[in-house]
Amino acid sequence: MRTLSRSRLPWEKEHAMQRRRINQTTSFEERLAEHGRALRQKAKSLPPGVEREQTIRKARQAETGAQISEWLSTPGLPAPE
């Protein structure tokens, strides 16, 4: 049986794309909270309807995600009741 060398595996490409690293200037929680605020502002400009409700829901999800992420990254705090 013939074996392929490590560099010649069929799923590997010779010129594979390199992952770009980005150093964020703001925390994940801050970015999520800002996204939530931006979505709420957008929702204010929309007429009542499905799109507005979906935008408000996404804003609420982003804000909740920011709160949960902050809670998870804070050492020594008890779980919320």
Is residue 80 situated within a structural domain? no
Find the domain containing 62 and state its range.
26-73
The answer as to whether 14 is a domain residue is: no
From residue 32, alpha-carbon distances to 2, 16, 35, 49, 57 in Å are: 51, 31, 5, 24, 14
pLDDT band at 11 (very low <50, low <70, confident <90, very high): low
pLDDT band at 80 (very low <50, low <70, confident <90, very high): low
Q: How many CB atoms lie within 10 A of CB 72?
A: 9
Residue 10 lies in a domain: no
Predicted confidence at residue 62, as pLDDT, reads: 95
- How far CA 24 is from CA of 17, 21, 28, in Å, comes to 21, 9, 8
- What would the pLDDT profile of 26-79 be if each residue is shown by its tens digit? 888 999 999 999 999 999 999 999 999 999 999 999 999 998 988 888 887 676
Domain count, the chain: 1
In a domain, 40, yes or no: yes
User: Within a domain: residue 64?
Assistant: yes
Q: What is the pLDDT of residue 6?
A: 56
The separation between the first and the last C-alpha atoms of the chain, rounded to the nearest angstrom, is 61
| pLDDT class of 23 with cuts at 50, 70, 90 | confident
